[in-house]
Amino acid sequence: MTDPAARALNQKWFYPFVLPDGRKLPSTHDGRVDAIHITRACMLETWLAREFPGDRSNLQAMDIACHQGYYAIQLARAGFGRVDATDVRQEHIDDVDLLRQIYALDNLHARRTNVFEMPDTADHDLVLMFGLLYHLENPVGALRKAHALTRRACVIETQVVPHLSGMVDWGSYEYVRPLKGCFGIIDEIDETHAPEASVTGICLAPSTEGLLWLLRAVGFSRAEVLPVPDDGYEQLRHGKRVMVTAWR
């Protein structure tokens, strides 16, 4: 059987993975988008130190749409007793399994599934949903599922669109309702083959204000945008992407 590290070095990766011996795995993009992954990881690490300090061996976490497992591995190495990594694409699950062997992470478990097909178990202390929401045609359903899976806290990172506010005639000019947020429709119909794209091609990206309202509307008690480091990725710094935490 081929050595797992040799297999990993023989393919390209979307994330800046470094092997235990210090060798960096080849990149699909020559490192051009590493900054976003590193910023997310730094923000998550800071948040974990504050909200989940100390021993985490009795805690369970889930990474929804884990891709190649970069953040699931971060959680497993951070000491969570069990980390479930899920993704709709089998090639991503295969990549996670390969890295699990390389990093010897017995607490990491990867399986192929669609976010909407998972049972509403609410047995994960922490749920991550990074880079998924804005690739979906049913983002509200995904937020409901995240709430159903979360025992304590959920962290969501997503692209966002400019906010719209104001009052809307709702059936009559005599009856108006306030806009709580908005979605932008993004076309990925010709990109569904791409490993980082939507599987349906229809994408609805929320405004930040809309996302915060929706998180409370689906059942979370509170939600807030996490601060971005001064040297963080430019889209996060300028509010074109956000990382939001929501509490059960």
Crossing angle of helices 90-103 and 70-77, in 10° steps, is 30
Judge whether 156 lies within some domain.
Answer: yes
Q: Which residue has the higher pLDDT, 2 or 216?
A: 216
Judge whether 69 lies within some domain.
Answer: yes
**For residues 117-141, average pLDDT:** 94
Domain containing 212 equals 38-247
Model pLDDT, residue 1: 53
Judge whether 208 lies within some domain.
Answer: yes
Judge whether 32 lies within some domain.
Answer: no
Q: What average pLDDT is seen over the chain?
A: 95
Residues 6+ apart with CB under 8 A from 42: 229, 232
**For residues 203-215, average pLDDT:** 97
Judge whether 191 lies within some domain.
Answer: yes
CA 198 to centroid of chain Cα atoms: 14
Q: Which tokens sit at 24? A: 């960096």
Please write the tens of the pLDDT for every residue from 12-45.
Answer: 999 999 999 999 999 999 989 999 999 999 999 9
Model pLDDT, residue 197: 83
Alpha carbons 144 and 139: distance in angstroms, whole number: 9
Query: Following CA atoms 211, 232, 54, 73 in sequence, which dihedral angle do they give, to the nearest 10 degrees?
Result: 80
CA 77 to centroid of chain Cα atoms: 17
Model pLDDT, residue 198: 87
Judge whether 106 lies within some domain.
Answer: yes
**For residues 95-109, average pLDDT:** 97
* CATH code for the domain of 192: 3.40.50.150
- Give percent of the chain above pLDDT 90: 92
Judge whether 238 lies within some domain.
Answer: yes
**Residue 58, amino acid:** N
pLDDT at 107 over 80: yes
Judge whether 47 lies within some domain.
Answer: yes
* Domains of the chain: total: 1
Model pLDDT, residue 211: 98
Please write the tens of the pLDDT for every residue from 210-233.
Answer: 999 999 999 999 999 999 999 999
Please write the tens of the pLDDT for every residue from 73-85.
Answer: 999 999 999 999 9
Crossing angle of helices 70-77 and 34-51, in 10° steps, is 30
**Residue 191, amino acid:** E
